[in-house]
Each structure stands twice: as structure tokens, then as C-alpha cells.
Amino acid sequence: METLMDITGIRQPGGGRKKRPLPLNSGIDQDFLDILQQHTAGNPMNSSIRWTYLKPREIVSELLKKGYSVSRNIVRYLLKKHEYVKRKAQKNITMGGHPDRNAQFENITQLKQDYLDAGNPVISMDTKKKELLGTFYRNGSLYTQAAIQTNDHDFPSSATGSVIPHGFYDLKRNTGYITLGTSHDTSEFACDSLFQWWVNEGIIHYPKAKSLLILCDGGGSNSSRHYIFKEDLQKTANALGLEIRIAHYPPYTSKY
């Protein structure tokens, strides 16, 4: 004979492992800050951002010397409470250099000012990261009644296609413009995107413009060395009836 069991309340209220109370009323906050005082760095532009190179276990050892029996979890809690943050790796080490790097930046600065003073548009352009199309995981969140289901692996072979975002940024108006491609990042695609920007945005906001200055790096579809980009760009300039001037950033400075 089977007996139905009530499984709605197996554990009694208050059961299970008891949480260790945080010793936060015994001066641990001040002692914690005293320990980190000589091991703290921060952002000079934002005093609320600071970090330490001490590891949680090292802070635990220092607190033990002061008579506090604490765990790493308590140390992590204290770090968060006092707004200590972790640091991420930064891509700042250049893979090379160019002797005329600064001279080119100075030239670009002067060109930008000349164009802006004359009422001519100045834009920068670049191609963003290619994205796969399909039921793949994306960063971010949204309001839904149920969680969105995606593939457990992001294999390119499972994609239904790809999308290439090609962007423009209008320096004077502080606005962006994106064209989405579905084939390849070619010079023809870059120039078609430029044509679309001018027809939909540029000519509307700069009806009296005589020349257009474009800032970009020297690789990819807008390469500074390949003649095909220069040829396609000249065709675009002829079609628009507009002078187009390109100012390439120096080599190894695309992350600046």
C-alpha cells in the first residue's frame, strides 16, 4: 500500500547551516581600511574608483594578525562595501610604431579644424565586429514572459548567415549611422555605405558642403595601400559630385 508523503516542508524553519555573523561591530572596518591604506590605488579623475593588489587571502592573513577570524567571503564583502573594484586587462601595448605618427595626428587635427570652420562635414568610419545570424547567445537582457532559448554552442556552421555593421560618426553633430551588410567587408561595401550615408544624412545636414573629410584606419576595406579602395572612392565622389578627402590614422593606432 502506497503512502503519500508531504514533501512541502522537509526542513524545519531555521534549519541548515547557520551563517557566521560578520564581525562588523568590532572595528573591523577601520582595521580593514588601515591594512589597505598602503596598498590602494585609484583613478585620479574619479575618487570613488579604487582598487588594491592584495589578494583576499592576503587580507585574511593581515586581519588574523589583528585578532579577526574571518573568511575570504567576509573580505570580499568588505571590498565590495568599501567600493574596491577588480581591474580588467587593457589592450594598450602597441605592436609597432611609426616615426611620423605624431606628425600625422597633428595633420589630422588641423584638417578637422579647417573643415569644421568651413562648414564641411567631418566623419570617421570603420567596420564593426561581424556577427553570426541565428539562435545564438547575445549579451544583454530584456523584459519577456519566458527566457529566450539559444543554441548551447555558437558554431559558425549553425549560422544562417552573417551581418557586417559598417559605421559612420559625424563629429560635428555627434551622431552615428550604421549600414548592415550580409556578404563581405569589401571596398565596394564601404563606398556603398558612404553613398547611403550622404544621401540619407550628409546632404540633408550639409547642403552647401563642397568637400567631405573621412577619418579611418589604414586596414580592412578602407586600406591605405590598396588601389581598389581609391578607385571605388573616386567613383563614389563622381556619383555624388563631391570632393572626398581621406585621412588615414598612422599604423598601429586603431585602438587609440
Domain count along the chain: 2
- Comparing CA positions, the residue from 124, 254, 133 lying closest to residue 190 is 124
| Domain shared by 121 and 174, yes or no | yes
| Residues 6+ away with beta carbon under 8 Å from 120 | 206, 209, 210, 211, 212, 213
Residue-wise pLDDT for 114-126, tens only, equals 999 999 999 999 8
245/256 Cα distance (integer angstroms): 21
Residue-wise pLDDT for 44-76, tens only, equals 667 777 888 888 999 999 999 988 888 899 999
pLDDT of residue 142: 77
Say if 71 falls within a structural domain: yes
Phi, psi of 134 (to 5 degrees): 145, -170
Q: Pick 124 or 27 by higher pLDDT.
A: 124
179/177 Cα distance (integer angstroms): 7
Residue-wise pLDDT for 166-175, tens only, equals 999 999 999 9
DSSP state of 221: G
Residue 110 in this model has a pLDDT that exceeds 70: yes
pLDDT of residue 22: 58
Residue 198 in this model has a pLDDT that exceeds 80: yes
Q: Which three cell numbers stand for residue 18?
A: 547557520
- Residue pair 124/168 in contact (Cβ under 8 Å)? The answer is yes
| Domain shared by 184 and 77, yes or no | no
| Domain shared by 178 and 107, yes or no | yes
| Domain shared by 114 and 196, yes or no | yes
| Domain shared by 105 and 196, yes or no | yes
Q: Give the pLDDT mean for 2-29.
A: 62
Say if 110 falls within a structural domain: yes
Residue 21 in this model has a pLDDT that exceeds 60: no
Say if 154 falls within a structural domain: no
Phi, psi of 127 (to 5 degrees): -100, 130
